[in-house]
Amino acid sequence: MTESGLDQLSDESLMMRVGRGDDAAAFAEIFRRYAKRLNGYFLRSTGDVQASQDLVQQTFLQLHRARKDYNAKLPLRPWLYTIAANMRRMHHRRAHRKPEVAYEEVHEQSVGPQASTVEQRTVRRAILALPENQREVLILHWYEGMSMAEVGRILGASTSAVKVRAHRAYKALQDLLGGDDG
């Protein structure tokens, strides 16, 4: 436990403290909890280590700027990922191109513990080859462990639309990876 006991507070309680004033310790705790996960989200989405780090910083800057807009009755994680998804979209718009594959540098979990490095790279490349709206759903659902309803809230889409995108993404991955056994 940290000296301040902040690690025992819920995300929502921490964000309420951040929103009431400039509670740097509460903000630092939120950063500690989510920076690595957001970096993984951005890495999977962009394939660019530097862009991912920049997007994490931009996301937390935007979180701090919007701290007074946070509704404490709602969970923090979907709100934070909505900000992250918007930062990622703005990044791609500015780049005016699809992300390039530079995934060999990524050192975190991806496919699973039994997958070889070659298999992991193959899956990463296949994910980056998906259309952006399918890739985003797949990353939020599969890698970030969010429900389809949460993904829908983050992306501003209905749960049904998210399920359709997910189905298409998994089917496209199956086709890209040459799998025919589901």
pLDDT at 1 over 50: no
Question: Which residue in 90, 91, 92, 66 sits closest to 79, CA to CA?
Answer: 66
Which pLDDT band, with edges at 50, 70 and 90, does 40 fall under?
A: very high
Alpha carbons 159 and 155: distance in angstroms, whole number = 10
Distances (CA, A) of 116 to 24, 56, 106, 111, 174: 41, 28, 14, 9, 18
pLDDT(96) > 60: no
User: What is the distance between the alpha carbons of residues 27 and 11, in angstroms, rounded to a whole number?
Assistant: 10
Asked if 55 and 42 touch (Cβ cutoff 8 Å), the reply is yes
pTM of the model: 0.66
With bands split at pLDDT 50, 70 and 90, how would you rate the model's confidence at 181?
low
Cβ contact 146:80 at 8 Å: no
pLDDT, greater one: 178 or 55? 55
pLDDT of residue 4: 66
How much is the pLDDT for 107? 42
Please answer whether residues 154 and 146 qualify as being in contact, where contact means their C-beta atoms are separated by less than 8 angstroms.
Answer: yes
pLDDT, residue 161, reads: 92
pLDDT at residue 52 tops 80: yes
pLDDT of 55 > 60? The answer is yes
State how far the Cα of 86 lies from the Cα of 156, in Å rounded to an integer.
11
The pLDDT tens digits of the residues spanning 120-152 come to 788 888 888 888 888 888 888 888 888 999 999
Query: Does residue 25 sit in helix, strand or coil?
Result: helix
